Structure 1
Amino acid sequence: MDGYATLIFLFFGCSLSSCSKFPLPEYYYVNLLMNWTDAQDYCRVHYTDLATLESMDDINRLKADFSYNLSWVGLSRDPNSRRWSATVEANTTGFHAWAETEPNHIGGNENCVLMSTNRQWRDYSCDRVRTFVCYTVTNQNDTTYVFIPTPGTWNFAQEYCGEHHTDLAVIRTAVENDKVFSVKPPPAQVWIGPHRVRWTWADSSQSSFRNWKADEPENCDGDQLCAAENDLHEWIDTNCQNKNTFICHQGECSMTKTNFWFNQIFTAGPLYFPVAKLRTVVRLTTETNADMTDPAIQAQILQQLGAALTNLGGANFSLQWKIGPKKKEKP
């Protein structure tokens, strides 16, 4: 079934399709030695971005003649990415109570934070099980803290606090730090809100696929924030300033979900809109068993497309469907 969308945007084209019927990303090995940032810039100029890999199928589609010791892929971690669970923004409270030598991020796997028995903080593996402290903001904008004796991982604690309170404990001052310490039993080490954002892809893909080598990532010396793969396609973390060959990809698609992709007029930098409004009719061809005339399905697609366009260009878009007539079957 064919559909048409009306939107205010300036671009070459967009498409909605299932990857099984859509050209998959192409991967290109670049035999140049660059640090991770320069490699990303090169990929963005000549292709789409440093390689995003979403499954072993992508790994298997890498050309067999790759010959390198290490080659950059698009996975990295922001060294200043510690945030509070209650916000997607970086930690701007200005307060911390780290113990001496903390955070040390031992083994490259300590992405969450405990308050220890002496009021001080230490980073810790998010998958370990501990009790935790939630906080609640009242109508008077007062903050109260409550100890939860049920042990759980950091993610469990965050979900529990979000459902039953406001969130995991946010601590902005020494006074609030003392309040959290006072509500927990003396021997308990409890989860609190700060956590380190984990590895992310250069093109902002939400792919959770990882192919780490055994015992990786290890973050030796605390400065291994970029990912590279060896000739067996196993990934390691290494210093982003090292110079390696690299892999770019061309095109965007998801093997696990239907998504939108956009060919931008500008390959890098901000988007500029030279006209106040532009009405563009875009033909979207879909192959699906869903009823594309269903208003609920149309609304869901428009909502996702509108959000994607807004995130891409920072502007507001007005979208609507125009369902074209069905093609007549040949007699």
Structure 2
Amino acid sequence: MNFITTMEKIFHLILLLPGLCSLCTSLPQHRFVLVQTPKTWLEAQSYCRSKCVDLATIDDLGEMTTALTVVEGRYDDAVWIGLRKGNLKKWHWSLSDKDFYKEGERDYLHWGRTNAHNCGSQKDGKLFTTSCDTLLYSVCFDGEKPVGEQHVLSTEKLMWRVARDYCRRRHTDLASVRNKEETQRILELVAGMRVWIGLYRDPWVWSDKTYSSLRFWNADQSVYTSNVKTCVALLKSESGRWGERSCGKAQPFLCSCPLVRSFFKVRITSQSSVLELNKPEVLDEILKQLQLELGIVNTTDGFSVRWTKQPDGRVLIKEPDGGS
């Protein structure tokens, strides 16, 4: 019997048993999926919201590493993420780990003087808005050190972004000031000098409206540039660091998707007694039909189905009544 004809008869009798499908939609974790079909930022946002959760929000440096792994070698120029310029500038701490802050600690801001500048320094226990290009000493935070030794003074004068990157390479990040105790600790460490801390403000907002203060800009990116609304992408030329692009440019994009798996049991009845269903080429053809049934027509969009092997290495097991 012709191979294709036999396969068509098999596919006609494929039965998905939905009662055996386990779909855990309540899991809070998310994974990143690269969609390689180029779309504008708004088109990408719509696609991610319809297929997954939203365009990717990246919460911390660990997730940034994961995102870079997902896109590595799979794009030519840039990849959209879910960050877009909004209308209002807001203050954030550079250290983005959510578990680092207790309630109210992100907003512990005791100002000495404020102006139009977008980076934060500390002097005499007070916060000051300072031009991000100013050369200052900085205070790093090192989460690997014992409590009481976690604040480290860097005595090289640097611009704010350079100081942040220095602290991230050598320690954890620029220091956040979460409470009175940390204010006093830094005050004693710097002996009256004005120093950079991890405070900055910008107008960028995430598509899913969740909070993340992580920024991973390329070296030339200003904290605040212009009033033109633009969107953010990972740039291949900058090893995945972020840069601004016109939101109307079509390019690949990264979605945040639920970390769930659906399991289906498949029963196949064959009209050919000689067809070996566990042969790789037969299994591949069956998968193609399953993808069509499930509406997965482009596996480069990050959605796919695959077989789960039994302990003995087989995929399909013959049932006593002749089915598989």
Give the shorter-chain TM-score range. Answer: 0.3 to 0.5
* Higher relative contact order, chain-length normalized (CA < 8 Å, sep 6+): 1
Q: TM-score, normalised by structure 1?
A: 0.41
Q: 1 or 2, which has the higher helix percentage? A: 2
